[in-house]
Each structure stands twice: as C-alpha cells, then as structure tokens.
Amino acid sequence: MTHAVEILDDDAAFRESLAFLLEAHGFVVTTHADPSTFMQGVADRAPDCLVCDIRMPGMSGVEVARALRAEGLNTRVILITGHADPALLERAAEAGATLVLEKPFPPQQLIDALNRLLG
C-alpha cells in the first residue's frame, strides 16, 4: 500500500531533500512551503502523515498539529526542529504530534519512523 506523506517546511532545500528521500522509499509526497497553503483543503486530502518543521513564519508546527486535530483528522504528525527542549516536546505532544525529530537526524530514522507509523 502506498502512503501519502505531506512535507511542510519553509526551507526549500530541506523540503525538497526530504521529498526526494521519501519518494525514493516509495512514499507519495506533496510539499508545502507555508502553513496556510498546507491547511487549504487539508480535510479533503486527509494525508496519512505530515512531516513538518516546528519553527515557521505565521504558524508553528505545533499549531499546525493542533489545527489538524481541530479538523478531526487522524493525520500522524512528525515535527522536526533544530532545538528540542522539554517544554517544546510537551507542547508538541499536547497538540497531538506523534513524534519529534531533532536536526540533524539520520535519514533512515525518518524512514523507519514512517514505516512504523504507517505500516
């Protein structure tokens, strides 16, 4: 079964690098540069998983995770950050994030997490 994974990150190079990695592992990938674009029609798309940067202009990854839950979606959310701290991890969990990965992480760690979550 093919799984739909959406990537939301304001860093174009990182976003495209993740898309290439995930597509090479058989995932169907859609990318978004900003939270407002991602949120448009998200209930109709209902992605299996979102891989999302935490710190973005306009709306944080934690706020995106919270908004997905408010839409009633069961999308699994993997948040990515360069600076994880206990307070951030707690906010992410309360918002419904499934996992938080801290940059830099080995690419295989993300692939393994997606396979585990979506398998």
Burial string for 13-51 (b: 16+ CB within 10 Å, else e) reads eebeebbebbeeeebebebbeebeebbeebeeeebbbbb
pLDDT reading at 53 higher than 70: yes
- Of 30, 23, 71, 62, nearest in space to 49 by CA: 30
Question: Under CATH, what is the fold of the domain 4-118?
Answer: Rossmann fold (3.40.50)
Residues β-bridged to residue 49? 5, 76
DSSP state of 5: E
pLDDT at 3 over 90: no
Backbone angles phi, psi at 15, to 5 degrees: -60, -50
User: What average pLDDT score do residues 46-73 get?
Assistant: 95
Spans of all domains in the chain: 4-118
The rounded mean pLDDT for the chain is 94
Res. 119 pLDDT band, cuts 50 70 90:
confident
pLDDT given for residue 1 in this prediction: 62
Alpha-carbon span 56 to 2, nearest angstrom? 28
% pLDDT > 70, the chain: 99
